[in-house]
Amino acid sequence: MELGKSIKYLRTNLELTQKQLAEGICSQSLLSRVEQGLEIPSVIIVHNICQKLDITIDTLLSTSQLDSPFIQLKKELQELFLSHDFETLYASLHKKTLALFETHSQATHYYFYLGVCELLYKHHPQNAIQHLEEALLLNAQRTTTHETLIHSYLMLAYFEDNNDINALKQLNQCLLFLHKPVEAFPLMPTIYLNIARAYANQAENLTAIEYLHLGISCCQKQNSTFQLSHLFFELGVLFIKTNRKQSGIRKIKFSLELSSYLDEQFVTADLTKRRKLLY
């Protein structure tokens, strides 16, 4: 049963569906039973699963300790990322050694978080590019939501660094992913948000608005509020830019009320600061 939990943890950590992991190895129903602890997989299946997850069997077995310090650390870092507390996230990353992540084949996540912090907290796009490129290089699974998430932040970093050519290459990777049939994941609204910001950066405001609406729709489908405040705020900004000032002001006001209601203190602080610069 612990083995099944470990497989599920590693699969979801890479944002793979059961169908994606099972493909070429076993049936999806068998994988589901394994993850539920209802069936013991053969050695061959375990070996193939480890290969697809890009880990050793020893790593899989060690992950069975679901309350291990590393698992707890990963949860803490993810919570800081989801709450937009990039200052604490940045400090936490520098307190922990990269070797700890490398031991668990998770270095891609270390560099991803570090890159996002360099971009959104330290405002060092060149450092962000370096770390996010490293995260892409170390990402074991391709065409996943996690990889596209990296592309979306890398795109913003390149735009911030005035490197439009590479930024547009990253945007293209994000669009290629979204044009394929994909299952919804909790961080999907972030990809829509970042794409909208990229189009807004190119003054393609109507296209940016379209992707913000897609992000809001994604939140509704997932029954999630993650990034919803940011999506409405950006929508308000673009409404103002497209001569719909009153509607834009209402959207911005709603985004602040929403972030306050959801107790998103770091989001509220950020949006309040940005509103003061607008009007």
pLDDT in tens, 124-144: 999 999 999 999 998 866 667
**Number of domains forming the structure of the chain:** 3
Same domain? 58 vs 107: no
77/233: higher pLDDT: 233
Q: What is the CATH number of the domain that holds 163?
A: 1.25.40.10
Residue 215 is predicted with a pLDDT of 96
Q: Is the dihedral of CA 8, 137, 75, 67 positive or negative?
A: positive
Q: How confident is the model at residue 9 (pLDDT cuts 50, 70, 90)?
A: confident
Choice among 82-91, 136-145, 198-207, 228-237 with the minimum mean pLDDT: 136-145
Percent of the chain with pLDDT over 70: 93
Same domain? 73 vs 11: no
Domain boundary among 19, 45, 62: 62
Same domain? 40 vs 104: no
Percent of the chain with pLDDT over 90: 60
Instruction: Share the mean pLDDT of the chain.
Output: 89
pLDDT in tens, 204-232: 999 999 999 999 999 999 889 999 999 99
Could you tell me the residue range of the domain that residue 53 belongs to? 2-62
